[in-house]
Structure 1
Amino acid sequence: MNAGDIAVEFAPELRVLVGQRDSTPVRVDGTSTLGHVVESLGVPLTEVGALLVNGEPVATGHIPRGGETVTVAAVARPQISPEPLRFLLDIHLGTLTRRLRLLGIDAAYENPDIGDAALAARSAAEHRVLLSRDRGLLRRREIYSGAYVYSHHPAEQLDDVLSRFAPPLAPWTRCTSCNGTLRAADREAVRDCLPDNTGQSYDSFVQCVDCGQTYWKGAHHARLDAIVSDALAKFA
C-alpha cells in the first residue's frame, strides 16, 4: 500500500470543471488508478490529454503513490479522428445539433431522452462521438468516444466543437430536422409540401431524401447564412 497525499494540477482549460486555481492535495488509497482519481475530481477522461507524474508521462492505469505530483493536461486540439466524424448529441443540445447539420456535419440526436445507457450503446454501435454537458454520461466506459460541451450558449458550443474536431464543412447539404441528405427539388415536385403562395414567391428548393422536409430561402435564411458564414470564416 502506498496511501498518502498527491498534488494534482489541472491545465487551465480544465479548471472550470474542478474550480481549481492552484495545485490541489488529494488523498490516495494505493489501489485506485490515476484515471479514477482524475474522474473523481470532476474531469471525464474524454477531456484529458497527457498525464504526467513527477514530470514523466504515465497511463490512466497508473497507481498513484503518496508524495507524487500529477499534472493533468487538456486534450490536444484539433483532435484528429481515425474515422469519418459522426456525432451523437444528448437531449439538451438540440440547437447545437441543428447548427452542426446546417454545416453538413453528421449529427444524430435523441429526442425524447432515451437514457444514458442507450445513448452510450448507440455511440459504441455507430462509432459516434458523444457530445454532452453531462459528465457522468461521458464517464461511461462503453462509449466510442466523447467530448464535454463547455458552454451553455449555442454559438460558443459550435465554435468549441469545430475547433476541437475540425470536421469538414459542407453547408446546406443536410436536413436540420432529421440529419438526412438534401437534394435539389423542382418546384412542381414539392408544390404540395409548401405553404400557400410559397411556390409563387420562391423558385429554388431542396428536399430531404429521408424525411421529405422541403427548404427554401425564406425569412430565416439571413440568420442561418450568418451562422454558416461565421463558421466558414473561422474553421473552413
Structure 2
Amino acid sequence: MQNGNYETLRLLGHGEFGVSYLANELATNITVVIKEVPYDSQENIRLLDEAVVKIRQCCELVPEVASLLYEVLNIPAAPIESKTFAMSQNIDMQTLDGHQTSKEKKRIVRSLVIEHFVDKSLRTYIATLKKLNGQIEEQKAWDVFTKILISLHEMHSKRLIHKNLKAENIFLIEEDWYAKFSDIGFYRYPRIGETRNVLYLPPEMIQDEFD
C-alpha cells in the first residue's frame, strides 16, 4: 500500500553524488526526479549543502535551471520497486540523530525532488540521430547551439557557473527549442591523483579560478 507522497518508477542512473530515480507524485500524478545523496560524512554534508544553496540561487535568478521542488532527510529501507517518500521541507538534524541508531545513521540520505523534463536530453537526441542514421539540418544545429549559448549567457550574466555541464544535463524543450539545465551545483572537486575528462570541464574549472 502506498503511504508516501512519491513512488519511484524506475532507476535513472548513478552519478558522482548519488542515485537518481524517476518518481511519481501521488497527489498530482506529476513525474519528478528524486536524487538520493548520502548524507553520512562531513564532506558529503558540506558538498550537498553547498549544492542545494546553489540550486536555490539559480532557480530564483535563472528560469533555465531545473527547479528544486522539495528536500528531505530520510532513511531508505524498502526495495526500489515499492519505495515511497513522505517529503517535508522542515529538516531537524538533531531530532533525527537523537532517534537513530549508529547503524541507521550511516544510511541517512538527503533526497532532493527536482523538476523532470519530459523533453529529451541533448545526449538522448544525439544518440537517437545516430541510431536512425539521421542527420540534423545545419540550420537546426545552429538553432540548438544558439539556444544553449543563450541559456548559458543568462546564467553567466548572473555570475552563476554550472560546473558540470554536459550533454546529459542539457534538455532541449522541443516546443520552442530552448535549453534547460539540470544537476547544477552537483560537482565534487578531484582529489590528488584523480583526473577528469577535460572535454566536460569549463575553462574556469581547469584554471582553478573559482572555488
**Higher-Rg member (1/2):** 1
TM-score, normalization: structure 1?
0.24
Greater RCO between the two (CA within 8 Å, min separation 6)?
A: 2
